[in-house]
Amino acid sequence: MVIIHEKGERVPLTICGYNAKKGTVSFAFHEVGKTTKELGCLNVGDCIMNVTGPLGNPSEIKKFGKVLCIGGSIMIAPIMLQVKAMKEAGNKVTTVLGCRSKEFLFMEKEAKALSEKVYIASDDGTIGNKGLDFLKALLKKEKFDRCVVMGPVVMMKDVSEITKPFNIPTIITLTPIMIDGMGMCGVCRVTVGGKMLFGCVDGPEFDGHQTDFEELILRQRTMLPEERVGSLLWETSGGCKCGRNKA
């Protein structure tokens, strides 16, 4: 959980890299609203007030056999940590990188260096396969022992629906709205296997075949009007220091 300054809100970000010698962790983020745009305005050498973590449960990394790792959008960055860890645990890893369009694809070289095979998919077909339909054909040809997916909720839902008939255990990283990230506020409630669980302390990884995605999508949108107003107020009141987000 990251708080930029004393008036900032807490936002959850996924650790996508670390350097134990230097004592650093890395995050990759999309500038979607006030806090992430403020983060994007920071310069090298600027300070963030508070980083709390790691929170939640560690990913299950062990030898499964053949693992399919799928990362979409900004979550391509953290899926690469899983690709690396799964390979180091002795798995044969096939990686799928999904993006909206050609210009949003990144880390293809890193994926190729770590994976047996790499597939690219884009929403508009400007690079690789158009959409995720190719996955069905791939799963008919090849057997996988586990699938790990990180990305937009709609993508994780689609992948879970595709892998279900093939009985491939599918682990997704849920991104409900979070406030404390420590099990106290209850904002991150999700329904998995008919049980109400907390995204932060019970997850963030859950069984994609058991997750109530419709509920999650509705809950994620709860604060949309306030988020839009917050972002606009910040942009128009001179909050942006770098000039890119001035309304």
Q: Which residues bind ligand FES (CB under 6 A)?
A: 178-181, 183-188, 198-200
Residue 241 has phi, psi (to 5 degrees) of: -95, -20
Using an 8 Å Cβ cutoff, are 206 and 216 in contact? no
Backbone angles phi, psi at 39, to 5 degrees: -60, -40
Residue 123 binding: pick among ligand FES, ligand FAD, none (C-beta 5-8 Å cut-off by kind) = none
Whichever of 158 and 202 has its CB closer to ligand FES, that residue is 202
Nearer to ligand FAD, 128 or 176 (CB): 176
Structure tokens at 108: 């293809």
* Least Å from the CB of residue 8 to ligand FAD: 9
- Which of 12, 17, 31 has the alpha carbon at shortest distance from 198? 12
Q: Fill in the DSSP letter of residue 165.
A: G
**Nearest distance, CB of residue 4 and ligand FES, angstroms:** 18
Residue number, nearest CB to ligand FAD? 33
CB of 134 to ligand FAD, least distance (A): 26
Provide the minimum distance between the beta carbon of 56 and ligand FAD in the complex, in angstroms, as a whole number: 7
Per-residue burial over 95-114, b if 16 or more Cβ lie within 10 Å, else e, is bbbbbeeeebbebbebbeeb
For 34, phi and psi rounded to 5 degrees?
Answer: -55, -55
Say which entry of ligand FAD, ligand FES, none residue 185 contacts (CB below 5 to 8 A, set by partner kind). ligand FES
Residue 64 contacts which entry, ligand FES, ligand FAD, none (Cβ below 5-8 A, type-dependent):
none
Which of ligand FAD, ligand FES, none is residue 184 near (CB under 5 to 8 Å by kind)?
ligand FES
